[in-house]
């Protein structure tokens, strides 16, 4: 590999580290005084007496129009994916009970009578403007809408090669950020003609980014900020070599090296690709054709961000776990049993905010991306301590700290340079014989060295990850009732979602519950009792660093604590609701407390 520069090596702490001399540093005091945790919480804002629970009158509930029986039935049918036959049966029962509801499910759900298929019967363009209009609803509109798109393949049946290739979009800076379908291709394999597949979408994007759109009498500008795809889909849409090819890196122009049956990318300082070099095809071995996306006025390199879900979670984190547990892995069979036992114990502490709870490494092949994310961001440092060899554990912490910084809305800019140094050092050490060897420096591992720069362009990692789009793909697949004509089925289900009794997007208020953990005045505390407008909280005693390298854990708000205090203090619910929510995991006779990054904005 190339010689390493000074920033390849992590500084002693991320406190006071910034990505450039002109950037503002995060104000985070890592010095801890010797006061008991109970005394440190005395500065709580608007401290309240516990009797405030009972001396406030209930506010009268706001009046909401009662939904009709038809609207209620339509909402239930969509929520529980009821078939038309089931809806017809419910409607008949309601009519016998005297309710005025239509007889036919298609009328109740607003189902389109005939899907508007293209001439090939394999493609539908639903429309970008149509989807935007339905997505915006009654949202407070900014001057400019920020739009993300996603293109990916979706297998439909285990015994068939038939699949969907949808073009999805979502608005990221107002209203409902749930993706919506712009176009949908259905057949065996990829769309055979990329131009035909993309053109209706690109024409609408061109019109919107040039002239904007009028919504409810107001002119709004539109900007396409990112096209979120996994590596194979990016290769297809950009018309470039596969990520497994010698010229597969999308951010630098190094030629890969063939090592023990795989292409590796050991260089860390190769020349970077730019919009100009991409459009000029200055590296012809990187290209396989002309991408229709180049017709847009976008940066052809940065408009396709490196996706954290596929790159980091499904890519690097899963590879690490397999190297530790599979075959002659780093961990013995007994250590793997201990690891699984610890993971199952942690699962008992996981709140409902997590889609999935941890499970043992014996089921590693079935772990989903969200489970791998939870392991990397929260559970891994706790359950791996004293199990992994010290060199491997410290190497894993490089990735853990770097990704937590880049996933944090508070830290991804001011500590970006530090995270970049950690990732470059992680990649460099990954290929050493003391860890995993040169043959492991494949595309995913190498591309980590470019990830920090992506955040300076697109925001914290979850702002441009594929998690939201992947969740929607699962919903799209569940719309199918039979194997027959999946394209027409989805077209009808989507028309029902947009029907007259469709769901209304609402802003959920975060519910405070007993047992939840928060950082109050930078100190971990647990909710003991929830009153009407306040909460009784108990401090977790003796908060301190859980690890001190590659940075003090307290600098990124991760603490090891002792037991829960027996005394409590009262805090206003609004102050608690606005404080960082944390995951509290058992460790020895105390806890490790970690803020929940994937719930932040």
Q: Which of 579, 587, 600 is nearest to 519 (CA)?
A: 579
Give the pLDDT band of residue 525 (cuts 50, 70, 90).
very high
**Residue 232 falls within a domain, yes or no?**
yes
- Three-class secondary structure of residue 458 per DSSP: helix
Domain edge (last residue) among 405, 432, 463? 463
Q: Which of 591, 588, 529 is nearest to 558 (CA)?
A: 591
Domain edge (last residue) among 281, 304, 327? 304
Q: What is the pLDDT of residues 268-325, one digit of tens each?
A: 999 999 999 999 999 999 999 999 999 999 999 999 999 999 999 999 999 999 999 9
**Residue 405 falls within a domain, yes or no?**
yes
Residue 46 has pLDDT above 90, yes or no: no
Which of these ranges, 75-89, 311-325, 423-437, 477-491, has the smallest mean pLDDT?
Answer: 75-89
For residues 453 and 314, membership in a common domain is answered with: yes
With left for phi above 0 and alpha for psi between -120 and 50, is residue 90 left, alpha or beta?
alpha
**How many angstroms separate the CA atoms of 63 and 65, rounded?**
7
pLDDT, average across residues 504-516: 71
* CB of 402 closer than 8 Å to CB of 377: no
**Residue 27 falls within a domain, yes or no?**
no
For residues 400 and 328, membership in a common domain is answered with: yes
**Residue 178 falls within a domain, yes or no?**
yes
DSSP string, 202-263: HHHHHHHHHH-EEETTEEEEEEEEEEE--HHHHHHHHTB--TTSTT--SSB-PPPEEETTEE
Strand 144-151 to strand 218-228: parallel, antiparallel, or no bridges (unpaired)? parallel
For residues 127 and 152, membership in a common domain is answered with: yes
* CB of 209 closer than 8 Å to CB of 132: no
Strand 180-188 to strand 162-171: parallel, antiparallel, or no bridges (unpaired)? antiparallel
For residues 50 and 75, membership in a common domain is answered with: no
Q: What is the pLDDT of residues 369-418, one digit of tens each?
A: 999 999 999 999 999 999 999 999 999 999 999 999 999 999 999 999 99
Which of these ranges, 1-15, 102-116, 143-157, has the smallest mean pLDDT?
Answer: 1-15
DSSP one-letter code for 540: B
Backbone torsions φ then ψ of 173, nearest 5 degrees: -120, 15
Residue 513 has pLDDT above 50, yes or no: yes
**How many angstroms separate the CA atoms of 24 and 22, rounded?**
7
Give the pLDDT band of residue 111 (cuts 50, 70, 90).
low
**How many angstroms separate the CA atoms of 127 and 116, rounded?**
12
The angle formed by the CA atoms of residues 538, 38 and 55, to the nearest 5 degrees, is: 55
pLDDT, average across residues 26-44: 43
Q: What is the pLDDT of residues 544-580, one digit of tens each?
A: 999 999 999 999 999 999 999 999 999 999 999 999 9
Give the pLDDT band of residue 120 (cuts 50, 70, 90).
low
* CB of 219 closer than 8 Å to CB of 193: no
Give the pLDDT band of residue 121 (cuts 50, 70, 90).
confident
For residues 299 and 315, membership in a common domain is answered with: no
Tally DSSP H helices, then E strands, for the chain. 20, 17
pLDDT, residue 538, reads: 97
**How many angstroms separate the CA atoms of 427 and 447, rounded?**
9
For residues 49 and 146, membership in a common domain is answered with: no
pLDDT, residue 362, reads: 96
Number of domains composing the chain: 4
Comparing 62 with 372, the larger pLDDT belongs to: 372
For residues 415 and 543, membership in a common domain is answered with: no
Residue 234 has pLDDT above 90, yes or no: yes
Range of the domain at 88: 69-109
What is the average pLDDT value for the chain, to the nearest integer? 87
Strands (E), 127-217: 144-151, 154-155, 162-171, 180-188, 213-215
Residue 256 has pLDDT above 70, yes or no: yes
DSSP string, 311-356: IIIIIIIHHHHHHHHSSS-SS-HHHHHHHHHHHHHHHTT--TTSSS
Neighbouring C-beta atoms of residue 434, cutoff 10 Å: 10
For residues 199 and 96, membership in a common domain is answered with: no
**How many angstroms separate the CA atoms of 422 and 400, rounded?**
10
pLDDT, average across residues 446-452: 98
pLDDT, average across residues 420-445: 97
The angle formed by the CA atoms of residues 193, 198 and 201, to the nearest 5 degrees, is: 155
For residues 345 and 388, membership in a common domain is answered with: yes
For residues 418 and 314, membership in a common domain is answered with: yes
- Three-class secondary structure of residue 183 per DSSP: strand
What global pTM score does this model have? Answer: 0.85
**Residue 1 falls within a domain, yes or no?**
no
Burial of 526 from C-beta contacts in 10 A (0-12 / 13-18 / 19+): buried
pLDDT, residue 41, reads: 47
Which helix (DSSP H) or strand (DSSP E) does residue 131 occupy? helix 128-136
The angle formed by the CA atoms of residues 308, 309 and 310, to the nearest 5 degrees, is: 95
pLDDT, average across residues 133-139: 86
Residue 113 has pLDDT above 70, yes or no: no
**Residue 401 falls within a domain, yes or no?**
yes
Residue 330 has pLDDT above 50, yes or no: yes
**Residue 556 falls within a domain, yes or no?**
yes
Residue 206 CB partners (closer than 8 Å, separation 6+): 295, 296
For residues 323 and 447, membership in a common domain is answered with: yes
pLDDT, residue 271, reads: 98
For residues 569 and 524, membership in a common domain is answered with: yes
Give the pLDDT band of residue 7 (cuts 50, 70, 90).
very low
* CB of 184 closer than 8 Å to CB of 487: yes
Residue 262, both tokens: 């795989």
pLDDT, residue 13, reads: 45
Which of these ranges, 94-98, 175-179, 385-389, 569-573, has the smallest mean pLDDT?
Answer: 94-98
Burial of 51 from C-beta contacts in 10 A (0-12 / 13-18 / 19+): exposed
């Amino acid at each position: 590999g190339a010689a390493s520069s000074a920033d390849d090596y992590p500084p002693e702490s991320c406190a006071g580290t910034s990505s450039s001399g002109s950037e503002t540093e995060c104000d985070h005091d890592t010095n801890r005084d010797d006061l008991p945790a109970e005394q440190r919480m005395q500065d709580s804002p608007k401290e309240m007496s516990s009797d405030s629970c009972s001396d406030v009158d209930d506010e009268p509930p706001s009046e909401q129009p009662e939904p009709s029986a038809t609207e209620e039935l339509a909402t239930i049918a969509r929520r529980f994916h009821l078939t038309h036959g089931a809806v017809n049966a419910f409607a008949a029962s309601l009519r016998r009970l005297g309710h005025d509801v239509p007889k036919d499910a298609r009328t109740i759900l607003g189902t389109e009578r005939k899907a508007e298929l293209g001439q090939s019967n394999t493609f539908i363009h639903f429309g970008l403007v149509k989807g935007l209009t339905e997505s915006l609803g009654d949202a407070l509109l900014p001057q400019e809408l920020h739009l993300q798109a996603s293109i990916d393949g979706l297998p439909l049946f285990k015994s068939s090669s038939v699949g969907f290739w949808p073009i999805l979009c979502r608005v990221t800076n107002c209203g409902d950020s749930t993706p919506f379908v712009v176009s949908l291709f259905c057949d065996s394999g990829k769309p055979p003609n990329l131009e035909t597949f993309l053109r209706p979408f690109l024409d609408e994007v061109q019109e919107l980014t040039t002239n904007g759109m009028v919504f409810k009498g107001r002119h709004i500008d539109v900007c396409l900020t990112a096209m979120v795809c996994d590596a194979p889909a990016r290769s297809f849409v950009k018309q470039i070599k596969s990520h497994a090819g010698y010229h597969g890196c999308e951010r630098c122009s190094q030629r890969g090296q063939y090592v023990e049956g795989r292409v590796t990318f050991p260089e860390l300082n190769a020349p970077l690709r730019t919009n100009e070099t991409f459009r000029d095809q200055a590296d012809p071995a990187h290209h396989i054709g002309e991408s229709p996306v180049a017709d847009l006025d976008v940066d052809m390199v940065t408009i396709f961000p490196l996706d954290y879900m596929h790159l980091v979670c499904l890519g690097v984190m899963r590879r690490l776990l397999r190297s530790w547990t599979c075959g002659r892995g780093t961990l013995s069979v007994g250590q793997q049993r201990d690891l699984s036992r610890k993971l199952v114990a942690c699962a008992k502490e996981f709140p409902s905010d997590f889609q999935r709870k941890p499970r043992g490494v014996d089921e590693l092949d079935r772990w989903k991306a969200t489970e791998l994310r939870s392991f990397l961001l929260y559970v891994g440092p706790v359950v791996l301590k004293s199990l992994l060899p010290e060199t491997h554990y410290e190497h894993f912490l490089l990735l853990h700290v770097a990704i937590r910084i880049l996933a944090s809305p508070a830290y991804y800019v001011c500590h970006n340079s530090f995270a970049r140094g950690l990732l470059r050092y992680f990649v460099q050490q990954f290929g050493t014989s003391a860890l995993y060897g040169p043959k492991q420096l494949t595309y995913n591992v190498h591309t980590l060295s470019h990830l920090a720069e992506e955040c300076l362009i697109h925001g914290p990692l979850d702002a441009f990850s594929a998690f939201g789009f992947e969740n929607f793909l699962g919903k799209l697949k569940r719309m199918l009732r039979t194997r027959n004509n999946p394209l027409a089925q989805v077209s009808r289900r989507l028309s029902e979602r947009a029907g007259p009794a469709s769901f209304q997007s609402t802003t959920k208020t975060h519910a405070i519950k007993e047992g939840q953990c928060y950082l109050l005045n930078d100190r971990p505390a647990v909710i003991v009792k929830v009153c009407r407008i306040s909460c009784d909280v108990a401090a977790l005693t003796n908060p301190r660093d859980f690890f001190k390298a590659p940075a003090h854990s307290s600098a990124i708000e991760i603490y090891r604590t002792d037991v829960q205090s027996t005394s409590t203090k009262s805090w206003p619910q609004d102050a608690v609701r606005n404080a960082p929510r944390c995951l509290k995991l058992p460790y020895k006779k105390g806890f490790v407390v970690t803020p929940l990054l994937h719930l932040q904005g």
